[in-house]
Copies of this chain bind each other. A is one copy, B any other.
């Protein structure tokens, strides 16, 4: 049985891609089981509730040598602990290629599109397989989530085309209304502890010298209600400080992305982070907030800039 999972701190794409890909592989004769590596966020919980589905089971470890398929990620820092001891036979992803290696030829399918769901739809079509309403809604939701309904610069024509194809199958008549309901669910953060908020959409990246990288924790809160998040600024900064110490990180940033206005204001923990934002982005923090303007995509607009900054020769 092949275990299929997305990244730690799963988002809607990480969970729905695991569910859809496990089902596709099983239909194609490779028995597969979807897992998640963490709690679904409020947006994903909304999508699953709409579909009357349970989240896939939580996975925390696997015996060395187990066969796995990765979706929506490939770097060990974002995956199941001990990934290098597992047998990665398949990856479907839309991120840069990190530290993954394999011992035999894998099936790899990476495309520079906005969402894993867009690639999974292509896999169905290439195989001549129909898409049922449930899988259609999972892929549709993932694409709307990852591209912020086409607001993100990660959006490609393939993502738009996939949404146009999937919406009627999924029975979603008003795509914008559905996207806004997803974003509202995601923004309804209630009394979620500050550290949970920080870690909800949070990835650790190695930067600089590959042999001795420094690790940065980069969190994002995409919300239709940034005022709520900034109302908890002090709590969040305390949580960032704690995570930085606990995880021996060189820096921690938390970007608060206003979905509807397409802006990014980022919480800046201390002098290290302020220096990097100044030198890499030319942005001066005011108080503990840096206005990163329209840089709303961590993948396209934050990580590449930091990568260049920390590895100037690349």
Contacts and interface: CB of A to CB of B under 8 A. Distances in A.
A109 interface: yes
B101 A110 contact: no
A97 B101 contact: yes
A168 B142 CA distance: 43
A126 interface: yes
A97 B100 contact: yes
A30 to B, nearest CB: 12
A31 interface: no
B104 A112 contact: yes
Q: Is the interface of A mostly helix, strand, loop or mixed?
A: loop
Stoichiometry (number of copies): 2
A99 B102 CA distance: 10
A24 B92 CA distance: 23
A127 to B, nearest CB: 10
A228 B95 CA distance: 50
A106 interface: yes
Contacts of A247: none
Most B-side CB within 10 Å, residue of A97, A106, A108, A111: A97
A101 B105 contact: no
Contacts of A314: 85, 103
Contact of A105 (B96, B104, B108, B210): B96
Given A96-B102, A97-B102, A101-B98, A108 B109 contact: yes
Given A96-B105, A104-B304, 12 more contacts: A94-B105, A96-B103, A97-B101, A97-B102, A97-B108, A101-B210, A105-B110, A105-B299, A106-B110, A109-B109, A109-B110, A211-B211
Interface of A: 64, 85, 93-113, 126, 210-211, 299, 304, 307, 313-314
